Chain A
Amino acid sequence: MRVVDFGSVTPLRSQTLWHATAHGVSAGAPPTLSFMRPSAPYVSIGFHTPFDAVDHDRCARMGIPVYRRMVGGGPVYLDPDQLFFQIAVPEAATPARRPAAVRWLLEPAVEAFRAVGVDADLDERNEVVLGDRKVCGHAAGQIGTAVIVVGNLIVQFDHDAAAAVVRTPTGDAAEEFRRLVHRYVAPTPADPDSFKRAAAVSYAEALGFRAEDAGLTDTEEEKLAELDGLFVQPDWVRDGPIRRNGVPWRVKVKSGVWVHASEEGSTRVVVAIVDGMVDRIHLIDPDLDGARVEAETLLQGEALARAPEHLRHFGPSGQRLAAELERLTGKGVT
């Protein structure tokens, strides 16, 4: 197994380097574990993330670029206080089912966390957690015939910046998202060099190889130059799926933790959901009048599936809010 430590690199290179190694593994290079830290903050969006999932005006004001990666997941904020690792292996070597393959490739990372004193677990949804807080963002994909899983050690985390770069439709949705990012994402201030050494050991053991320091192949260097050009093309960043009209906005904080928002006329619902329960809800309807606080308090801690039923007791405005809540959480809530 090749271990490549790229050190501190530009934001662009902190994306293109590992894509190049995945292409290399696809072309026959050995399984590869790589590390790097970006030299400055930036935002990375998933291959299927709509372009407008990010607040581009705010990113411009903050002076941070946005790049689109070739693996999954949503918009994420990256900065020099995070160490990124990537493991690329031939697809044929991985378990057949994708969730199982991702799990297989995250388990050694969890071992590395533990080796540096972070009592992390891999939960049933493949989230690397410390208690109920996410401590490692991850994404995965197939590039050529290589499977790659990427993740991070969050030494320090700028929760406010991470929340601010995501586009939110309303102030209350922004505040809910910021609150949940603070609550459910935690840094683990372990020594990055120790983590790298531990990860090299745990991945080598799991994959059955000996870890050897190495650099890029000539093919990977060529691919890197190509990717450096591709990733800065405006069309590459913009050309994601279109967010369809009428589809309610939502954002994931970690598996099972979401903020959803939707607005229909003068009726608005913003709901923070934790494992299928209403963590907090904001209800706006002109006819709800003084019952707003009562309704919001009643629903807090209630099962999401039962919330519309409760809302319908609040007259015509409750009916409208119930319909809106059902619309915005109708499908895809996990």
Chain B
Amino acid sequence: MTVYRGCDIPSGYSFDVEADLWIRFEDGVARLGLTDVAQTRMGQMVSIRFKRAGRRVKAGGSVATVESAKWVGPVHTPFAGEVVAGNEEAFERDILIANRDPYGEGWISVVRPDDTAEITEGLLAGEDALTAYRERIDELDVSCFRCAD
């Protein structure tokens, strides 16, 4: 785990840095979630709607919408595929779960990509991800923080 300006950038994940998304590949599916930068930019979540399991999504399409500060915005997938699951149960228990634990319990959706060759296109991991995310954090001029209980 690397922390830069308070923002966690964990190892073992791939990142769509421009979209502030993390992706973890698991047996032919990809689990997506908001990064620490994303949850900080968003502020406290008040609501979320998931695209239902079985629905198709285009690359750049939305797997969920989140609301904070009267602002509704999409959570994009970087690749086309089929939605396998949304994390409804965790958000029903605690709507702030992505604010508290963005890389763990606060994941958003699981997508089965159409084309496994396509899915790593544009994604960064390891040192490349760290470098790119440090630059983005500086560019955005954000410092991250998490919700307290």
Contacts and interface: CB of A to CB of B under 8 A. Distances in A.
A binds B: yes
Name which of B43, B71, B73 has the most chain A CB atoms within 10 A of its CB: B71
Interface in A233-253: 240-241, 244
Interface stretch (B25-33, B62-70, B110-118): B62-70
Q: From B41, B47, B68, B72, name the one whose CB has the most chain A CB atoms within 10 angstroms.
A: B72
Interface residues of B, number: 22
A47 B46 contact: no
Contacts of A99: 43, 69
B43 A332 contact: no
A48 B72 contact: yes
Contacts of A46: 67, 70, 72
A97 B40 contact: yes
B1 interface: no
Interface in A47-92: 47-48, 70-73
Contact of A96 (B41, B46, B47, B68): B41
The dominant DSSP class at the A interface is: loop
Nearest to B65: A47
A121 to B, nearest CB: 18
B74 A142 contact: yes
A140 B66 CA distance: 12
A10 interface: no
A48 B71 contact: no
Main secondary structure of the interface of B (DSSP, over half): mixed
A241 B49 contact: yes
B140 interface: yes
A126 interface: yes
Contacts of B43: 97-99
A72 B40 contact: no
B69 A98 contact: yes
A141 interface: yes
Contacts of A126: 69-70
Interface in A124-160: 126, 138-142
A96 B71 CA distance: 13
For chain A, the bracket of interface size reads: 20 to 34
Contacts of B72: 46-48, 70-72, 140-142
B83 to A, nearest CB: 16
Contacts of B40: 97
A102 interface: yes
Interface string B112-144: 000000000000000000000000000011100
A142 B73 contact: yes
B41 A48 contact: no
Contacts of A96: 41, 140-142
Contacts, number: 71
Nearest to B20: A96
B105 interface: no
A245 to B, nearest CB: 11
Contacts of A97: 40-41, 43, 142
Contacts of A140: 69-72
Interface in B54-81: 65, 67-74
A332 B91 CA distance: 13
A303 to B, nearest CB: 19
Nearest to A69: B72
Interface in A19-57: 46-48
Contacts of B70: 46, 71-73, 102, 126, 138-140
Contact of B73 (A139, A141, A331, A332): A141
Contacts of B67: 46-48, 72
Contacts of A241: 47, 49
A23 to B, nearest CB: 13
A102 B46 contact: no
19 contacts: A46-B72, A47-B49, A47-B65, A48-B49, A72-B47, A72-B70, A72-B71, A72-B72, A73-B70, A96-B142, A97-B40, A97-B41, A99-B43, A99-B69, A101-B71, A138-B70, A139-B71, A140-B70, A142-B71
Given A48-B49, A97-B142, 15 more contacts: A46-B72, A48-B65, A72-B68, A72-B72, A96-B141, A99-B43, A99-B69, A101-B71, A102-B71, A138-B70, A140-B70, A141-B73, A241-B47, A332-B46, A332-B95
Interface of B: 40-43, 46-49, 65, 67-74, 92, 95, 140-142
Q: 8 tightest CB-CB pairs across the interface, nearest first?
A: A48-B47, A96-B140, A142-B73, A72-B70, A141-B72, A140-B71, A72-B72, A47-B72
